[in-house]
Amino acid sequence: MKISIVSFLVSACVAVGVSAKMVPGYNQTRRPQVHFSPPVNFMNDPNGLFYYNGTYHMYYQYNPTGITAGNQHWGHATSDDLYHWHNQAIALSPESPDEGIFSGSAVVDVDNTSGFFGNQSSSNPGIVAIYTLNTPSKETQNIAYSTDGGYTFTKYSGNPVIDIDSNQFRDPKVIWHADTKKWVMAVALPTQFSVVFYTSSDLKTWEKASTFSHHGWLGNQFECPNLVQVPVHNSQQQNSGEYKWVLVISVNPGAPQGGSFTQFFPGEFDGTHFTPEDDAARWVDFGKDNYAMQFFYGTQNKTLGVGWASNWQYTNIVPTSPWRSAMTLPRQYALWNDPVLSWQFISNPTDMSTIMKKNLFSGKVTKSQNIKLGDGSGAYYFDIYVSQDQGQATQRANFTFISSSTKEELRIGLLMDNGPFFFIDRSGTKGFDYPLFTDKFATIQYGGIGGWHVYGVLDKMILETFLNEGEQSATTTYFSNGVLDKLSISLDSGLSATVNVTALSSGWDQ
């Protein structure tokens, strides 16, 4: 079942009284082309990510009637490669205006443990969504089931499945724990800085197992917990064959950079209790625009995830229309115990071969180079390896994306002063001015053998950068008035760079 973009837009526009003749496409100046965004209106957290039979399903927090947060439904999209998306009909809707279908997850109930699916064949198993129902008086955990592969859902008549009479109790993430042969739910008690674990045999009856509380960076509340097994890399950054559990917790407000951010805890999970390696606070992303990340259910030995590319400090007022917000690139995750930095959550974009279009530049730069960006959708992949031939404390390497029409700049680079530091500077883009829209970010970037590896994607309003094979990453939104159509490279004496830039095709070419 696939609904066309036009059909989806018409139904959404009817809800807000917009003429079908005004339905937009995906070609607005600031519209991302390889990051998912909704056709119209407001989107935030990814929900219910799962993969089955060749198709990735992504649900998301969605307001079908406005361009600011509220009126929470579950929007829905599907993809074969995580870059080309098909918009689907809204999957879950509230029953009354004072309800909201808040964040949650989805699982493939292959063995019909829930009993919802009768004689449905194993080749077409049922899908169970687990979500928070928000009302004026409380937040409860509810379930719904789908017999058509996740396109339409029936709410369970016995809802709620967990009710602790609290108005701060949300965002259930459910996984299957093979060793104990039970479902495990991680759900947040936000203002208690806690994640509670429940177990169940049938997804309907849940038993409280343990509480993980007051660890890491507290901020003002915990949200969107995710528990996942992750492959561990060895010192050569290759899969060691080992796996370790990771608990991911989002914090909002109160992040170190301000507003929203996501932290992770490597550790062990025995089916009821999570034990972290230590109590350190570790960032998933050193930028300011990666929140509420969730992992796909059903991807076997690959740990794939998506986050919401925004920040609650300014998401309701950023200058995009007729939509607001996008998702991060889909990423594949691993762990590495760095001898200097301790546990690192390695992340890299998933296979981009289906959107690689044309190489624009490939070569070595020793001083300066200007690269014209074009022949694509406005989205670009860049891969830069900086070598230090002669070391000086004040050396800099600047890589600046420039608009020829407005002279706006988005700058990244390496600064050797007491570092080396990798920095991002979005202050040169002038389409959005707000006190909390922090304009500069930096992190220590320890080099590899003989140099530093920087790569990522520039996509209309989102810059994602990855350092040294994914040891660190940053997601940064920006809002320029002009199109960034040139990459200018400037290297101080003693530095050189091997540079590749590739134009990307649009995920919405279909």
Residue matched to tokens 């969605």: 62
Q: Report phi then psi at 8, rounded to 5.
A: -60, -45
- CA dist., res. 47 & res. 74, Å (int): 8
- CA dist., res. 502 & res. 372, Å (int): 11
Q: Quick check: 417 and 395 in contact, CB under 8 A?
A: no
Residue 435, judged by CB atoms within 10 A of its CB (0-12, 13-18, 19+), counts as exposed
Order across the sheet with 396-402: list the strands.
Answer: 368-372, 486-491, 396-402, 409-415, 421-425, 440-444
Residue matched to tokens 């300014």: 314
Q: Cβ contacts of residue 449 below 8 Å, gap of 6+?
A: none
Q: Quick check: 315 and 324 in contact, CB under 8 A?
A: yes
How far does Cα 108 stand from its chain's mean position?
A: 21
Q: Is 375 a catalytic residue?
A: no
Alpha helices (runs of H) in 138-225, residue ranges in sequence order: none
Cis peptide before 253 (omega within 30 of 0): yes
Q: Quick check: 36 and 326 in contact, CB under 8 A?
A: yes
| Cα angle, residue 197 at apex, residues 295 and 223 outer, rounded to 5° | 55
Residue 415: other Cβ atoms inside 10 A: 17
Q: What is the DSSP string of 76-90?
A: EEEESSSSSEEE---
Task: List the structure tokens of 485.
Answer: 């159509």
- As beta bridge partners, residue 132 has 141
Q: Quick check: 150 and 141 in contact, CB under 8 A?
A: no
- CA dist., res. 393 & res. 462, Å (int): 31
Catalytic residue among 45, 109, 289, 459: 45
Enumerate the active-site residues.
45
